[in-house]
Amino acid sequence: MFNIVEKFLSIDGEGPSSGELAAFIRFQGCNLRCSWCDTTYSWDKESICEVLNAKEIYDYIKETGVINVTLTGGEPLIQENIDELLTLLNSDDTLKIHIETNGAVDIEPFKNRHKKNNISYIIDFKLPSSKMSDKMNLNNLKIVKKNDVYKFVVGSNEDLQMAYDLIIKYELASNCLVYLSPVSGNIDMEEIVEFMKEKKINKVRLQIQLHKIIWDKNARGV
């Protein structure tokens, strides 16, 4: 059984299917406490709205009629029995599953157990302004593939420099999609663009969270 904070149909606000419809499953519980987290409500058990098993989650997704699935949280990969759900979703070739994971969990065992290409990992790297950089699993930087994403959420120039150093060191832009995503209110997007120009960063994208443009930035279920 899985503790679910919310499930809803909306557009994907970020990532490779940004702007497309997606079915969202938000799990309760996270092993990090990022300073700028915009889903702190998912941390506490008081936020649980329902408890569902893997088949019930799958049935909900199929009822939406959309093919994009975003598993988010909280942290999906720390959920007990998450492999049961991933196996079920991975068996449906019509679905494209994105797992939004916080970078603290080693994704390699999951990749080894679920090898079909309809699962992609959207991996955060927590930079200094998050106060969680020391929790990052560095193995993830080495094993990402073309259908995966590394997302650097930047809130300062220090964050930008660390992101750049990691992108270069691990040749990330050649191995997976790479995004720079601003912390709203902490850094101007112009600053990120100027940094990209200064460093001549190729194959890295500035990412704007569409759902925070369309709806109020604090809105839930969107």
State yes or no: 39 annotated in a binding site.
yes
The sign of the dihedral angle between the CA atoms of 47, 52, 53, 58 is negative
C-beta of residue 222 within 8 angstroms of C-beta of residue 215: yes
Phi-psi region of 151 (alpha: psi -120 to 50; beta: other; left: phi over 0): beta
State yes or no: 72 annotated in a binding site.
yes
- Starting at the edge strand found earlier in the chain, the sheet holding 149-154 runs 50-52, 2-11, 21-27, 68-72, 96-101, 119-125, 149-154, 177-182, 205-206
State yes or no: 148 annotated in a binding site.
no
Structure-block tokens of residue 50: 């329902």
State yes or no: 215 annotated in a binding site.
no
State yes or no: 11 annotated in a binding site.
yes
State yes or no: 176 annotated in a binding site.
no
State yes or no: 188 annotated in a binding site.
no
State yes or no: 13 annotated in a binding site.
yes
- Residues comprising the binding site for [4Fe-4S] cluster? 30, 34, 37
In the annotated binding site for Mg(2+), the residues are 39
Annotated binding site for substrate: 11-13, 26, 72
User: From the annotation, which residues make up the binding site for S-adenosyl-L-methionine?
Assistant: 36-38, 74
Binding-site residue set: 11-13, 26, 30, 34, 36-39, 72, 74
